[in-house]
Amino acid sequence: MLIRAAVCAAIAISTLPGADFASAQDYPNRPVKVVVPFPAGGGTDALTRVVAKGMEQRLGQPFIVENRGGAGTTLGATAVARSEPDGYTLLVGTASTFAAAPGLYKRLAYDPTKDFSPVMFFATVPFVLVVNPSLGVNSVKELIALAKSKPGELAYASAGVGAVHHIFCELFMSMTGIKMRHVPYRGGALAQNDVVAGHVPVYFADAGPAATLIKSGQLKALGVTTAIRSSNLPDVPTLDEAGVTGYEANTWQMMVGPPQMPEPVVTKLNRTLADVMQAPEVQSYFTSLGMQPRTSTPKQAHEHIVKEAARWTAVIRGIGISVE
């Protein structure tokens, strides 16, 4: 009876709020897995590795990046949503994961507003419309004119059906009255490599990884997708400035965990990531890629998901993109 009573008491104590706090005090006490829902080599992968290193240094345990690309980021996101909510499996997702997916997928395996524990919204990322120089166009207006003269003949690359590259280009086509052929890849790095090689002429690229290729002349930049010019591509006009009036789109990075992670663990991760993001070397790295580093509370991160999911669901349904 005494043993049974002791066991029952221990179970009861473990369910109290104080037990979560106690477990957070020694968190993490083993390696933490950070899932990136893209193949290695892209912008999200690169910045996640910088963030993971910073968190590892501050928390004293390895933060191991695992690439799980596919299905427009939803494969990796679904795996994390179904993981144990103990803080040892995290996800760095993007607007594709949390904002585009609800409008794209008729049967999405997760609800981005309910099936994650947001930790922090920590960066915004401009994209840039690029072409292979061999295409022979030097402006957005010239690209539009060429596409109109060859309806459906020009091809554009993306990181997959439903990826932001796909959505941004479909929005561009709908606003300019042109039609180009979609060539999806399994990740942005693969798509960008083929655009550089000249296999596909048009691409909406992450402004960070593309900047070096633009400056070296391997890609020609026509316009950035944000409302203001990118800090690392200051001579490239916005698409709005280039004549596509009202065009504005960007993606963003957010760290989340599975649903119902203990609040003290979420708080510890949030404070640690905030400290990482405020480090001068991290700020400099993000800025060098044209990204805007930032911090948020978990509540603000959740509110951002809700707002962006509503906005992009309306855009995607208006354009008519869907994924089975």
Q: Are 169 and 156 in contact (CB under 8 A)?
A: yes
Smallest CA-to-CA distance from 270 within 170, 107, 122 is with 122
147 sits in which H/E element: helix 140-149
CA dist 321 and 152 (Å) reads: 17
CA dist 251 and 163 (Å) reads: 10
Which amino acid, residue 310?
A
What pLDDT does residue 20 have? 52
Mean pLDDT comparison of 21-25, 88-92, 281-285, highest-scoring range:
88-92
Flag whether pLDDT at 21 surpasses 70.
no
What pLDDT does residue 25 have? 81
Flag whether pLDDT at 115 surpasses 90.
yes
* Full set of structural domains in the chain with CATH: 30-125+251-319 (3.40.190.150), 127-224 (3.40.190.10)
What pLDDT does residue 171 have? 93
User: What DSSP character marks residue 85?
Assistant: S
Burial of 91 per CB tally in 10 Å (0-12, 13-18, 19+): buried
User: Which residues are within 8 A (CB) of 70 and not within 5 positions of it... i.e. 6 or more apart?
Assistant: 37, 76, 160, 186
What pLDDT does residue 292 have? 84
Smallest CA-to-CA distance from 52 within 65, 43, 39, 42 is with 65
Which amino acid, residue 68?
R
What pLDDT does residue 186 have? 82
Model-wide pTM > 0.85: no
What pLDDT does residue 143 have? 98
What pLDDT does residue 23 have? 61
Residue 68 — φ and ψ, nearest 5°?
-135, 75
